[in-house]
Every structure is written in C-alpha cells, then in structure tokens.
Structure 1
Amino acid sequence: MAFFTGFILRIKKNRAIKLYLRKLPRLLQKDYGRSKRYRPRQVRATIERSGLPVEFSCYAILIFCSKKAFDRYHTEMGETCDYEAMRSYVGNLFFNGNTNFSAHEVLPSSTDFDGGFHGIDTGGSD
C-alpha cells in the first residue's frame, strides 16, 4: 500500500511541477513583470490566485527564486526542504539532468513564447 501511495504522490508532484513550468512563467510575468527571479511570496500568491496546485509550491519556489530566498522562506515557514535534492529531482525530470537550470530558461521571451517552454524534457505525465 505504501508503494501505491508513494507512486500516486509522485505522479501528482510531477504534474504540479510540469504545470508550474508551463503556466507560471507567463503568470508571474503578467503579475510582476519580467524578472530573472521572483520572491517566494510572489510565486506562492500567483499559484494560489491561478488555482495551480499549492501542495507542491516548494518546487515552484525552487525554480523561480534564488537559493537564499528559498532557504529564508522555508526557515520562516518552519519547513525543512532539501534544496539540492529537489533541484536534482527537477533537473533530472525536466532539464535532461541539468541541476544548474535557471528560471530564465523557462521564462518566455516576448517574441518566442508559444505557451510552452523550450529546450526542456517534458518528462512525467500530463
């Protein structure tokens, strides 16, 4: 039973991350303008406003915020999240193993955005 529960949780997490990669760049840009990085509370507010899954918002904060902001946010929230393990997870699943990805890689430019993200393995299920 634990395997099944873990499997379902992993599917939900992968779907949420994929939604963050696809939808958040445009939504964050609309809400706060184009930026290399956003603040964790901005990312969280955009997730909540847009109806995206809140349960895995740590991953969105990991993608769109600096490590320092990620760590500070989670300390303030009393949460413990392993930044390096999470980056590895996202990098392996969506960036062909590259853990040095940046939000800039998923942010659309004004001329090439087609509603998706470019150069990224879209692994995981829809």
Structure 2
Amino acid sequence: RNFCDKINWWKEFLDHPRTREALSFLWKNAKKLIYHVLPTRITGKITFGNEDPAVTGMVLAVLGMTIPFHKNKIEVAPLFDDENVLEGEILLKGRIYGIVVLKTAAELYFNKNIKYVIHRWRHKEVKHGERE
C-alpha cells in the first residue's frame, strides 16, 4: 500500500499543470544554456589502443558515432597492438558570457512554478489543492 501511495503521489505531482510548466521552462532554459556553453571549434588528435583488438574496434565504432558532433575535426588513430595506449591533444574554443549564466539563473530562481515545485518536493504530504 505504501508503494502504491508513492506511485500515486508521483503521478499527481508530475501531472499537475504547474509542475509541467516548470519542467518545460527548465528544459527550455537548460537547452539555451547548454547551447551557449558548448565549444564553437574543436580540433585534435587521439591515439588509442587496447590489449584486445576487439575492444579497440568497439571503441572506434563508438567514436565513429560522434562524428556529427565534432564534424571530423578530431583525428583518431587506433593501435591494434598488444598494449594499452591513450594519448591525445584536443583544442576547444568557445565563449561563456557570465551575464547569460546569471540571467538564466535569475529566471529560474524567480519563476513561481519552479518555486511551487520545490515547495511541493520538500513537503510531500501536502495535497495539491490545499496550497496553491
């Protein structure tokens, strides 16, 4: 019964309109902030290898999936020898303006829906209709 009560509380909590608005506002600002702090230029060279050539091949396959992010600006040189090697040099260029971070933090801090969600999170026993 206690487990079902917790599930019902979470369902009510997540389905509440103010919670949904707060989560969408948080997601929108998080995307903006992540886009702002990501580097604008990436260049580099990585040399790696493992004792097991199969592991080296799997790592190379995973790194191949990251090509859309760095647009093939990182040169990858796999070593299929019997040794563990990880050497490299990566240069990231970008910018982070403090005012953008402060503006986003202020927007999140002063948002009434986010304050409501934090209050509901701290006081889980209070029903949605009692305090709004």
Give the TM bin, normalised by the shorter chain. Answer: under 0.3
Structure having the higher strand fraction is 2
Larger Cα-atom Rg: 2
More helix by share: 1
